[in-house]
Chains A and B, each alone.
Chain A
Amino acid sequence: MTTLQSIPIQYYLVFCSLLFSIGVVGVLIKRNALVILMSIELMINSINLLLAAFSAYTNDPAGQIFVFFIMVVAAAEVAIGLAIVVLIYRTTHTIDINVLNKLRW
């Protein structure tokens, strides 16, 4: 039994779900594109923690390997995201997402 396993898995599950929910709420209520990006990162990192915890409990390395893949993908996503935010800033001089009103349904 490792140190990680001495804490019940439910604790990890609740903690990660809470972190994930904070990220979701952040995306929904914040108007600044950078803060939204940070909230999305929080969501992804809570999932990483959850995967690592599951992986430790089932003694199956696949979950931890997947965390590395997620990190790589998240890094690529943030690189693209920041580029897009810069693009928006150049044309509108703000990163408030309320300026996104040229296209409507």
Chain B
Amino acid sequence: MTTIISLTILGVLTLFLGIMKKQSWLLPVILLGLVVSMVLTLRDWNTFSSYYNGMIIVDNVSVAFSMALIFSAFLIFSLAAHYYRGVLRPLDDIYGVMIFALLGAVMMTSYGNLIMLFLGIETLSIALYVLAGSHKEAVTSNEATLKYFLLGSFLSGFLLFGIALIYGSSGSFDLGRISAFVTSCAGIYPPMFLAGLFLLIIGLAFKIAVVPFHFWAPDVYEGTPTLLTAFMATVVKTAAIIAMYRFFTHTFHGIHGVWDTTIWVMAALTILLGNLTGLYQPNLKRMLAYSSISHSGYMLLAVVAFSAMSDNALLLYTLSYSIATILAFAILILIREAHGNDYFSSLNGLAKTNPSIAFCLTIAMLSLAGIPPLAGFMAKYYLFTTALEQGLLWLVIVAIAGSAISVAYYFKPIMAMYLKESNGIKLMVETPYKVSIFFMALLVVLIGILPFLVIGLL
């Protein structure tokens, strides 16, 4: 709860600093504010409280994932000074909207009522529609925002219809009472309830971008300004997956026989299609978009394989995925600035001109592919063992096959950087930006070597 309050205050403060024309204060205040909200969030650890008649539930899962979300946002804001350095107009609106989107994401981790879930999703989405179109002069950005807006509000309608049908059959929006209703049904569920459940799956699946509701993702990711694409691929995806996870594992665990085949099929399709389509992408940004689609498939494994271990496995997975993805996007920003595009040929010979940057991108790619001893490997290891313990042998086989396919396209940039001749353009990097890149690369290695830092938490 303190997280939500502190982030709201931070967002308003950001807009206020914009009115006061204190542009140079913006980023320091935001970074400090995010650290303060992380500290305030940590104080809720082990408290297990609920607020406003169960509207918001704060437990260790929500605290841990809120921390992961705020930390991802912190990493993204640490890149903002470099990304927006040539922009002369005030930036308080973009930063403020980003913080409000983060607020929506935090609400999605700690909701105890379907009303809060809907409000969280909409706070997040409406902020994102603005962010996707924030590069007003670019036609691609305009197109991305219109596509995202039309599809997003269309699918929000389905989510809402699902909520209405569940309310109609169970008589409450409260997750605890819906859960009690599920138990009282004892195996015979009203068709209205099941219809609501599947409409809700559709609505949430769209936000996570899993097959067959993923078509918007590559286009929107490509058109959105790169820094905000990093925000979409990490913060938004983590929030949506944890919203789905909490909903299905805590409220609907009693009827997992009804929905787990659907999620199973969606996870398998997402992993296979995401990775196979990823092979054919001409540029790094679209490749990362497909990479993020296929990773949402892996994360769905945790929803199907709910057990005592899956909380930890999902936390480790989202954290390692987010850090590696933000690292990859940080370097993508540099490449797009220097070359004006992000085709794989722009990466040629990067190992000779900027060896340290090339090494960091290699770490990010290897971690996303799941090569030991990096974070991505450990995350996949724990997630797959959790799934195996729940008897999901075939799904794990599909996931491992998908990871094997993904190695092919994650090695494309690495081969370009190390084996191809350089085109002589050196990337210009300031020291603070370099520090954040090295910090993220260090974290990826550190989590890979010492997964116990994360895995024993929940």
| A residues in contact (CB < 8 Å) with B | 9, 13, 20, 23-24, 27, 33, 36, 40, 43-44, 47, 50-51, 54, 58, 60, 62-63, 65-66, 69-70, 73, 76-77, 80-81, 84-85, 87-88, 91-92, 97, 99-100, 102-105
Contact = CB atoms under 8 A, between A and B. Distances in A.
Contact of A20 (B133, B153, B157): B157
Interface in B133-155: 133, 136, 139-140, 142-147, 149-150, 153-154
A38 to B, nearest CB: 12
B168 A43 contact: no
B171 A105 contact: no
Given A84-B133, A103-B219, A44 B157 contact: yes
Nearest 7 CB-CB pairings of A with B: A43-B157, A103-B219, A54-B168, A73-B122, A47-B160, A50-B164, A58-B171
A51 B164 contact: yes
B126 interface: yes
Contacts of A43: 154, 157, 161
Contact of A87 (B136, B140, B192, B277): B136
A40 B130 contact: no
A40 B167 contact: no
B394 interface: no
13 contacts: A13-B168, A40-B157, A44-B160, A47-B160, A47-B164, A51-B164, A54-B167, A60-B171, A63-B173, A73-B118, A88-B142, A91-B142, A102-B140
Given A69-B115, A73-B122, A80 B149 contact: yes
A85 B146 contact: yes
Given A73-B118, A80-B149, A87-B145, A23 B157 contact: yes
B98 to A, nearest CB: 15
Contacts of A44: 157, 160
B218 A80 contact: no
Chain A, interface SS category:
helix
B14 to A, nearest CB: 19
Chain B, interface SS category:
helix
A74 to B, nearest CB: 9
A51 B126 CA distance: 23
Given A102-B139, A103-B223, A84 B145 contact: yes
A73 to B, nearest CB: 5
A40 B154 contact: yes
B172 interface: yes
Contacts of A76: 122, 126
B129 interface: yes
Contacts of B172: 60, 62
Nearest to B174: A62
A81 B222 CA distance: 20
Contact of B150 (A36, A60, A102): A36
Contact of A103 (B144, B157, B173): B144
A62 B173 CA distance: 8
B153 A77 contact: yes
A26 B143 CA distance: 21
B129 A80 contact: yes
| Most chain A beta-carbon contacts within 10 A, residue among B160, B192, B219 | B160
A50 B169 CA distance: 12
B119 interface: yes
B408 to A, nearest CB: 19
A51 B169 CA distance: 11
A92 B153 contact: no
B215 interface: yes
| Most chain A beta-carbon contacts within 10 A, residue among B122, B130, B215 | B122
A3 B255 CA distance: 36
A14 to B, nearest CB: 12
B149 A103 contact: no
Nearest to A60: B171
Contacts of B144: 103
Interface in B90-148: 115, 118-119, 122, 126, 129-130, 133, 136, 139-140, 142-147
A105 B219 contact: yes
